[in-house]
Amino acid sequence: MVDPELTMQVLESRERRRNDRRDFFRKAATAAIAAPLMLTMGGKPLNAQTPVTDPDILNFALNLEYLEAQFYLYAVSGTGLPANLLTGTGTQGPVNANGARAVNFTDPVVREYAREIAADEQAHVVFLRQALGASAVSQPTIDIGTDPNGAFSTAARAAGLITAGQSFDPYSTDENFLLGAFIFEDVGVTAYKGAAPLITNKTFLEAAAGLLAVEAYHASLVRTVLYRKGMLTPALLQATEAISNARDSLDGATDLDQGVAPTGVGATLASNIAPLDGNGLAYSRNTGQVLNIVYLTSMARTGGGFFPNGVNGTIRTSQAN
């Protein structure tokens, strides 16, 4: 039979982990809603770039989708997006794909997952480009190569997965591919969540919610597979924590990120597939914080990391942290 105490222990262990973000109701303790809904909560950092338009936000998202689509397409097929999906406003750039190639997957299920995600990300690029029409930004220069000084290696080095001078190759094994995917996926979720309140057009808001959901499904897929493989290879669990901490070191003081390592012990042991705050909500990042991560810098910059020349569009500066 179940001990209610056990339940509470699990809940408490999760809450200890997540209590860094409980300020929603601390700040708004009196924000209970009387019959007409009344909202008093504020203080969510929106962004310095104001005023932003809906096309600005969708173009910001399009840059991120270019990056994700290229990574997954190379991992699945050894080739990237077709040329007719790269054009647009701003300076079009190539893919620095030195070393990027089709992964020789050993687990056929991981290959099936990779194919699915690649198709979804390409569909996102197509969708956003169609929605934006002539105002769609072109693909900026993207680095998904394996050079020791490339973005993947820099990110892995920041997480302590490799040391100085070494390279991280997300195309070499199933596990490295999954960790490469892990670097991106949760960031996409937080980016769409942070941007949702900035979108004024209801149709595009619903579309963005659809993109948000899909990125969360992808992130969950990648995290679930890493968690399962981590039972045999515990280093994978620790790698997700290290990558999460590295992201957190870039995007400011607040902890907006979690790996998949379990909490609790024995009968209270619980996975951590969904990175959520103490209210069970996913985190938000503003556009500047998202750029901190993809530029791999904690400073205000207009390029770096996976986008050596910066993203295209009006939203292009990372946050000074």
- Site residues for other proteins, 149-208, by CB under 8 A, read 189, 192-194, 196-197, 200-207
Asked if 311 is part of the footprint of other proteins (rule: CB under 8 A), the reply reads: no
| List 48, 235, 269, 299, residue binding other proteins (CB under 8 A) | 269
| List 47, 54, 144, 179, residue binding other proteins (CB under 8 A) | 54
Give the sign of the dihedral formed by CA 275, CA 278, CA 281, CA 282: negative
Query: In this complex, which beta carbon is closest to other proteins, that of residue 205 or of residue 300?
Result: 205
Give the Cα separation of 144 and 123 in Å (integer): 20
Q: How far is the CB of 75 from other proteins (least distance, A)?
A: 10
Query: In this complex, which beta carbon is closest to other proteins, that of residue 166 or of residue 201?
Result: 201
Q: How far is the CB of 115 from other proteins (least distance, A)?
A: 4
Q: How far is the CB of 71 from other proteins (least distance, A)?
A: 13
Count of positions on this chain that bind other proteins (CB under 8 A)? 103
Residues 115-134 that bind other proteins (CB under 8 A): 115-124, 126-127, 130-134
* Interface map 78-117 toward other proteins (x if CB under 8 A): xx----------------------x------x--xx-xxx
Query: In this complex, which beta carbon is closest to other proteins, that of residue 227 or of residue 306?
Result: 227
Q: Which stretch binds other proteins (CB under 8 A): 53-61, 233-241, 251-259, 309-317?
A: 53-61
Side-chain-side CA neighbours of residue 283 (13 Å): 26
Residue 194: closest CA among 121, 292, 268: 292
Query: In this complex, which beta carbon is closest to other proteins, that of residue 50 or of residue 202?
Result: 202
Query: In this complex, which beta carbon is closest to other proteins, that of residue 217 or of residue 308?
Result: 217
Residues 276-305 that bind other proteins (CB under 8 A): 276-284
Asked if 216 is part of the footprint of other proteins (rule: CB under 8 A), the reply reads: yes
Query: In this complex, which beta carbon is closest to other proteins, that of residue 290 or of residue 296?
Result: 290
Query: In this complex, which beta carbon is closest to other proteins, that of residue 193 or of residue 301?
Result: 193
Query: In this complex, which beta carbon is closest to other proteins, that of residue 124 or of residue 301?
Result: 124
> What string of H, E and C letters represents the secondary structure of the chain?
CCCHHHHHHHHHHHHHHHHHHCHHHHHCCCCCCCCCCCCCCCCCCCCCCCCCCHHHHHHHHHHHHHHHHHHHHHHHHCCCCCHHHCCCECCCCCEECCCCCCCCCCCHHHHHHHHHHHHHHHHHHHHHHHHHHHHCECCCCEECCCCCCCHHHHHHHHCCCCCCCCCCCCCCCHHHHHHHHHHHHHHHHHHHHHHHHHCCCHHHHHHHHHHHHHHHHHHHHHHHHHHHHHHHCHHHHHHHHHHHHHHHHHCCCCCCCCCCCCECCHHHCECCCCCECCCCCECCCCHHHHHHHHHCCCCCCCCECCECCCCCCCCCCCCCC
225 Cβ neighbours under 8 A, 6+ residues apart: 110, 113, 178
Residues 239-268 that bind other proteins (CB under 8 A): 262, 264, 268
Residues 12-41 that bind other proteins (CB under 8 A): 14, 24-25, 31-37, 39, 41
Q: How far is the CB of 304 from other proteins (least distance, A)?
A: 27
| List 67, 73, 236, 246, residue binding other proteins (CB under 8 A) | 73
Greatest Cα pair distance, the chain, in angstroms, is: 64
| List 227, 295, 306, 307, residue binding other proteins (CB under 8 A) | 227
Both tokens assigned to 140: 């900026």
